[in-house]
A and B are shown apart, each in its own frame.
Chain A
Amino acid sequence: MERVKCECGHVNPPGTILCEACGKILVESEKNKKILDMRYEGTARRSQTYNRTIIDKIWSFFSSVKVGVVLIVLALIASAIGTILPQEMNTTMTVTPEQFYADQYGWFGRIYYALGFHNLYQSTWYMLLIASIGVSLVICSIDRAVPLYKALKRQRVTRHNSFLKRQRFFNEGPADNIQAHLQTVKERMERHRYRVLEENGNIFAEKGRFSRWGPYVNHIGLIIVLIGAMLRSAPGMYVNEMLWIKEGETKAIPGTNQQYYLKNHEFIVEVYDESDGEVYQEALKNRGNIAKNYQTNVTLYKAEGEVLPGEKPRLEEVKSGEIRVNHPFRFDHYGLYQASYKLHEMSAMTFQLVKKETDEVIGTITIDLYNPEKKYDLGNGYAVEILYYFPDVEFKDGIPQTKSPNPNNPAFAFQIISPEHPEGERSIVAIQQTLEPLGENDYKLAFQSVDTVNYSGLMVRKDRTLGLIAIGGAIFLFGVILGSFWQHRRIWIKQDGETVLVSAHTNKNWYSFMKEIEIILEDTALPIPVDRGSGLEKAVNENKGVGANG
């Protein structure tokens, strides 16, 4: 394709539909149209005119709005499918994810897992799909914004008749007595904040051109948000981990490379009660307990030097504080958020050693359920030995075994040593259950009490991309405002011999534009343009869409 020289003298890029300068129709097929499609000012979208190299082909593929819409629809469908079965991160499993989905959901689960729907956001194909939307966004914008900018910059005051006659707002009339009125019209235009240019008695008034950039500013914002999202995968930018920590425990904070440790002093749950005042009475009566506060009191430590996993580091206290819902504990770009809790988890059990015959209490032992002792010596020839410990007992074929390492349902195999039985008597003790497998014993361990401990579930967050995403969001909204609250309005007045042509164009809000034109041309000899918009509603709606959402 060749560059096109218009009769007005301007040289247009190949593929141009309307001359950038005077607006003359350069493409035959466009001449049949009663009203011109002004969306991109009839500029050549260059991607559609060159297709020589592979780069040009890729470029022109992503330059298509249709392709962009298809990509967005595909991403929508994929995301919807991703909600059919629970995502991997929201399930608790005891087997591999592959096994889990096959067991729980059969053939569908198998396919679901194989295609990566179980962990959709980390699936390569899903990431590439979202990335393609980003690419489409960039290329579509460049391909439209640049030619549009050039066309708007190069437009001339005097436009070709074929351009003016095919505008939606158009009228013509005799040019006899308009000279006297042109000055008034110009003044009125200026009062309405138009920039008015004159050339050989022709007038061109324009305002709000910047609103045409709204969609593109909007896209720049979106692209910045996408860059922020991409940066999350860069090292040190983003951490999102869960830390379960029980009272009294000191643990490495995940996501900090063993550099920070946290001690949980106490986990507190408070509920509203009478003392909180009259206002709450009714709600309390209806609802019972209403949470007032969830809080973890913590101390933060920093490890000295590099610490290997499993190594007990020397810790240096940094600071202490409280973590409450919506009041995170912050340090070094990290935030610890109160996210969850488990109350009254068993931590220790107390038993009394009792002589069955006399009910005489020989002594008391307290067993730490996380780390029981091998032997508890009670003196005078009495002792309790733990032969086996089952933190989470279940009986399989009558044989006790543990399901998990957590003390949810502890059971013990004791050997009770007494002066009468120096070899010991065997006793298996579980909650509300005692077995004496080797015959009736003389001594028993009577359950006395249980100590519990509270766990606090803390979310460990670090997100250094937030600033960038906020900037992107602000630019996005700025673009929306530009495109929504202002319109690009243009009025052309051209004298062509005995007639005067009046045309006008805006990118949206035609009705109010017409009202403005009527005020400007009121009581003058100039013909008021007629809205010939019917039949072109489609194009008008599309224009609105572009302005509002990009």
Chain B
Amino acid sequence: MTKKKRLVLRTTILTLLVLAIGFTVYMNIAGGRSDTAEVGKKAPDFVLKDLDGHEYRLSDYRGKGVFLNFWGTYCEPCKDEMPAMDRQYQIYKDQGVEILAVNVGEAELAIEKFINDYDLTFPVIVDESGDVQRAYGIFPLPATYLINSDGIIVDYITGRMDEADIQEYMERIKP
């Protein structure tokens, strides 16, 4: 075997090995599955209903920024940030930013009381089956996805947000 042939053979084998390993590592890190939410990728579409039975489909909001917030009545930071979210919603809804607040599937009664107590004006939809939470990999609460007007996930925020944070996020997804 000539030296050149040997080099070609070795390069081929090493390349194959590197490709196989690269693929495996990529699939593991990126989660690999196309239906799971990931920053920089298209936000997985979903359909959820609010308490009155209105359907909300994420893809209908193409052209608008979507502040997709997941919450529960038992989550303390959620209670703190909801009023601030509502105030910012009043400012940004005319500038093309929509809030969709997804409840994690609690009893209707609890959700309704919460909406009334906090006087929420943005749409609150309920993920009863947990499918949307699974698709977005939600854990723990609160969790917020920022989705731009092209339907691409710009950022994923967990933990407490204050009003200044929320305002900054709204600016980022304003079309």
Q: Is the CB of A402 within 8 A of B73?
A: yes
B39 at the interface (CB under 8 A from A): no
- Chain A positions within 8 Å of B34 at CB level: 235
CB of A55 within 8 A of CB of B158, answer: no
Interface flag for A320 (CB, 8 Å): no
Q: Which residues of B contact A50 (CB under 8 A)?
A: 3, 6
Find out whether the CB atom of B135 lies under 8 angstroms from the CB atom of A309: yes
On whether the beta carbons of B24 and A127 are closer than 8 Å, the reply is yes
Find residues 386-402 in chain A having any chain B CB closer than 8 Å to their own CB.
386-389, 391-392, 401-402
Q: Name A309's contact: one of B24, B32, B46, B159 (CB within 8 Å).
A: B46
B107 touches A135 (CB 8 A): no
Task: Let me know if A96 is at the binding interface, CB within 8 A.
Answer: yes
- Distance of A387 Cα from B117 Cα, bound (Å): 11
Report the stretch among B15-23, B80-88, B146-154 that lies at the interface: B15-23
Interface residues of A in 245-270 (CB under 8 A from B): 251-252, 254, 257-258
Q: Determine if B35 and A257 form an interchain contact, defined as CB atoms under 8 angstroms apart.
A: yes
Cβ of A321 within 8 Å of any chain B Cβ, yes or no, is no
Contact partner of B106 among A55, A139, A405, CB < 8 A? Answer: A405
Residue numbers in B under 8 Å from A127 (CB-CB): 21, 24-25, 28
CB of A59 closer than 8 Å to a CB of B: yes
How far apart sit A376 and B48, CA to CA, in the bound complex (Å)?
28
Which chain A residues numbered 263 to 282 have a C-beta less than 8 Å away from chain B?
A: none
- A357 at interface (Cβ–Cβ under 8 A)? no
Which residues of chain A from 485 to 527 have any CB-CB distance to chain B below 8 Å in the complex?
A: none
- Decide if A233 is an interface residue (CB 8 Å cutoff): yes
Q: Which residue of B lies closest to A122 (CB)?
A: B28
Chain A interface size, as a band, is: 35 or more
Tell me if B164 counts as interface (CB < 8 A to partner A): no
Q: How many A-B residue pairs have CB under 8 A?
A: 121
B10 and A56 form a contact (CB under 8 A): yes
Are A308 and B6 CB-contacts (below 8 A) given A124-B25, A403-B74, A405-B106?
no
A401 to B116 CA separation, bound complex (whole angstroms): 16
Task: Write out the residue numbers on chain B whose beta carbons fall within 8 Å of the beta carbon of A139.
Answer: 13
A403 to B158, CA, bound (A): 19
| Inter-chain contacts of B14 with A (CB < 8 A) | 55, 58-59
- Residues B46 and A311 in contact, CB atoms below 8 Å apart: yes
B43 to chain A, nearest CB (A): 11
Among A285-293, A366-374, A542-550, the stretch in contact with B:
A366-374
Instruction: Say yes or no: A391 contacts B10, CB within 8 Å.
Output: no
The size class of the interface chain B forms with chain A is 35 or more
Q: Mark B62-98, 1 if CB is under 8 A from A, else 0.
A: 0000000000111000000000000000000000000
Assess whether A309 is in contact with B134, with CB atoms less than 8 Å apart.
yes
Q: Are A372 and B109 touching (Cβ within 8 A)?
A: yes
* In the assembled complex, A93 has its CB within 8 A of some CB on chain B: yes
Nearest to A261 among chain B residues (CB) is B129
Q: Are A310 and B46 in contact (CB under 8 A)?
A: yes
B45:A389 contact, CB within 8 angstroms: no
A96 to B139, CA, bound (A): 7
Instruction: Please judge, given known A-B contacts A403-B74, A405-B105, A405-B106, whether A233 and B131 are in contact too, CB under 8 Å.
Output: no
B101 within 8 A of partner (CB)? no
The A-contacting residues of B in range 97-144, CB under 8 angstroms, are 104-110, 112-113, 127, 129, 131-132, 134-135, 140
Is there a chain B Cβ closer than 8 Å to A131's Cβ? yes
Is A46 in the interface zone, CB < 8 Å from B? yes
How far apart are the CA atoms of A46 and B159 in the complex, in Å? 57
**A169, B3: Cα distance in complex, Å:** 38
Interchain CB contact under 8 A, B7 and A55: yes
Q: Is the CB of B134 within 8 A of A55?
A: no
**In the bound complex, what is the Cα–Cα distance between A540 and B127 (angstroms)?**
68
Contact, CB under 8 Å: B129 / A96: no
A93/B129 in contact, CB under 8 A: no
Contact (Cβ within 8 A) B73 A142: no
Shortest B53–chain A CB gap in Å is 12
- Bound-state CA distance A127–B13 (Å) is 19
Query: Is the Cβ of B129 less than 8 Å from the Cβ of A310?
Result: yes
Known contacts A230-B20, A405-B72; decide if A389 and B107 are in contact (CB<8 Å): yes
Instruction: Kindly state whether residue A234 has any CB partner on chain B within 8 Å.
Output: yes
Once the chains bind, are A138 and B28 in contact (CB under 8 Å)? no
A135 and B10 CA atoms in complex are apart in Å by 12
* A96 in contact with B74 (CB, 8 Å): no
A94-B140, A309-B131 given; A53·B7 CB < 8 A: yes
Chain B 42-59 interface 0/1 with A at a Cβ cutoff of 8 Å (1 = within)? 001111100000000100
CB nearest neighbor in B for A402: B74
Contact assessment for B21 and A131 in the assembled complex, using a CB-CB cutoff below 8 Å: yes
Chain B residues within 8 Å of A, Cβ to Cβ? 3, 6-7, 10-11, 13-14, 17, 20-21, 23-25, 27-29, 32-35, 44-48, 57, 72-74, 104-110, 112-113, 127, 129, 131-132, 134-135, 140, 158-159
- Given A94-B140, A310-B127, A392-B74: 13 more A-B contacts, CB < 8 Å: A55-B10, A96-B140, A134-B17, A138-B13, A233-B28, A234-B23, A235-B34, A308-B46, A310-B47, A311-B46, A389-B110, A391-B110, A402-B73
Q: Which 5 residue pairs of A and B lie closest in terms of their CB atoms, listed nearest first?
A: A233-B27, A309-B131, A131-B21, A310-B48, A309-B46
22 contacts across the A-B interface (CB closer than 8 A): A58-B14, A59-B14, A96-B140, A122-B29, A127-B28, A131-B25, A134-B21, A230-B23, A234-B23, A235-B34, A251-B129, A252-B131, A308-B46, A309-B46, A309-B131, A310-B46, A389-B107, A391-B110, A392-B74, A401-B74, A405-B104, A405-B110
